[in-house]
Chains A and B, each alone.
Chain A
């Protein structure tokens, strides 16, 4: 390595150039929230991003409350902070886990995630392709665990086991203000053991640690997950300061106080330190795995569609049709 001499060449100016470019282009982030209704998913999103980025499911009549099918609702917002622009897309999954028979409830979610990979792949393999391919791939799937205090339910295990193979899963213990600190620690430990026992790799996955520094930081995180969180959009006066919290008769739970709950840890992980990493793992690992699978499996299968037929954009081509078949098998 030749170190540049006394004279300043200016190579390090590229950092500033990159920063400028990033500011100009802005960022995209797509978060999916999964969990049965009533776990405070929307509230948590709104607390994380300090704005109404997720709408609570409109509760009208009991019949309409639980959708007959699992819906996937995607809402995008443009947010900006200190000149940094971000397009945040929150993907909600109302109906998940709410039915009596929840068999295969992960399928529509799995399909949605794979559809986004598919869309990106299609754009990528175009001859004439866009300068910047819009990224709708799910970067992070937050899975809400109800605060039972005991262990994971079969649905939790089933879902996380399947989905952790295609997307970054960040499990959180929802409405953690119903657990004492001891109950919380016990619960977390049990969950971690169960995840390990079932071979479920949640974010940050051990195998993707880049170097020893990474591993050190991520090991600490892995010892703390799942984060026990509380969400709130209300501010209360606590010790002369206005803080986000939940007011009860026995006290006010301060959302951003790490002595009360782990919201701040989650926020730091997701937004302040590991956001880029979460996106990188999605694009260079999960997406690539999908791409390898797709390019391998459609080989050897004759393309039944004759070229130049006008086709319905939903079932656009043989590739998508074969993809439909694939999701059935999942």
Chain B
């Protein structure tokens, strides 16, 4: 085999060269986008909040569809997560939207474990992806990604401060998912109270070290709008699927005797801001952060937990694979050992059973022999008895013949006296 000399002339720092004409690779972003359009997109939103904060209504309003048929049942103990997937289409874009709702969040008397089922749910989605990624034969490009891309945290419009449940929950979730806090049903708060409320919430989040999602400001195209919006967090939203006629248009609104709150009026609430940020500007970034930050963190922790090690600064990193192989070999070894044990046990059992059966057979033979002997003895006894009886019979017959002979001789010889005398003699003899 010919030896190879590999000469790399530029690794990271490739030289820049000018082009003498139009090549055509400026179509690459279009090629990429076309491919994604063909595949369709996936977006998964988790809505966390107490019962009655209008989570379902807000989703309906955001995506302009009536999602669920019946309102969710709130009679289960503990916090349940209900997930629903919808196929939406706008122009040529197909979106597989999954909305996950927390049912019963905040309903319990003891809320210490409320966050647990949420964390578990998020982890389960990460785990599913990890499993797919670790498979030998995998189909990542057609995998339906269920990882949560955005978590909308619904804050009750008390106007005061965050509840301790909110702080605890958000703290547990901030390293696992992109959190976007929103003030629900914000038409219950006046404008001045709202400003104070927002400031209080933000400072509480900061002082408790809760990392909420920051709209990215590194791309100059969207840096400005994103950084402005970051200052408006948490968004004060109002949701409604009811339409009211304002002027000559039908708008989504909530009608009160004292006035109408228009959902898409930026003076009334931050709904438009939320829609802009969540969907129109940063959907892709939310997906990317989920994959490159939250998922990677989960994966790293999970693999370290499973005993895999990465690196030692001097050596080439351990390959995950080697440890995986070592574990597999260990497992195979254990498996073989168990197999061997089972085989031994089986052999043992068979031997025992065989022995038992042999014993039984032996016993049977003995019994048979005994019975046979018994039978033979009996037979002999009977034969002997028969013989003796036969002998007796013969003896008797002889005597009878002898007696008859004498009698006939006596008759021939004399008279009656002789007969009498003979009879007497006979009697004497016979006696």
Q: Which A positions have Cβ atoms within 8 angstroms of B?
A: 1-5, 7-15, 17-24, 27, 29, 48-53, 69-84, 86-87, 89, 104-105, 107-108, 111-112, 122, 125-129, 131, 210, 267-268, 271-273, 275-277, 280, 284, 288, 291-292, 294-296, 298-303, 305, 307-311, 313, 316-319, 328
Contact = CB atoms under 8 A, between A and B. Distances in A.
Nearest to B317: A126
Interface residues of B, number: 95
Contacts of B93: 11-12, 14-15
Contact of A11 (B16, B20, B90, B304): B90
A276 B27 CA distance: 10
Contacts of B319: 122, 125, 317, 319
Contact of B318 (A50, A75, A82, A317): A317
B312 A84 contact: no
B19 interface: yes
Interface in B11-67: 11, 14-38, 41, 62-65
Contacts of A22: 28-29, 32-33
Given A72-B6, A271-B24, A317-B322, A104 B1 contact: yes
B282 to A, nearest CB: 7
7 contacts: A4-B63, A107-B1, A108-B3, A131-B292, A272-B27, A303-B329, A308-B312
A307 B136 contact: no
A271 B25 contact: yes
B320 A127 contact: yes
A86 B32 CA distance: 14
User: Which 5 residue pairs of A and B lie closest in terms of their CB atoms, listed nearest first?
Assistant: A76-B14, A316-B316, A276-B31, A17-B284, A10-B280
Interface stretch (B81-89, B342-350, B351-359, B412-420): B81-89
Contact of A71 (B5, B285, B296, B322): B5
Contact of A74 (B6, B26, B312): B6
Interface string B326-342: 10110010000000000
B1 A13 contact: no
Contacts of A308: 312, 315
A10 B93 CA distance: 10
B300 A105 contact: no
Contacts of A4: 63-65, 88-90
A271 to B, nearest CB: 5
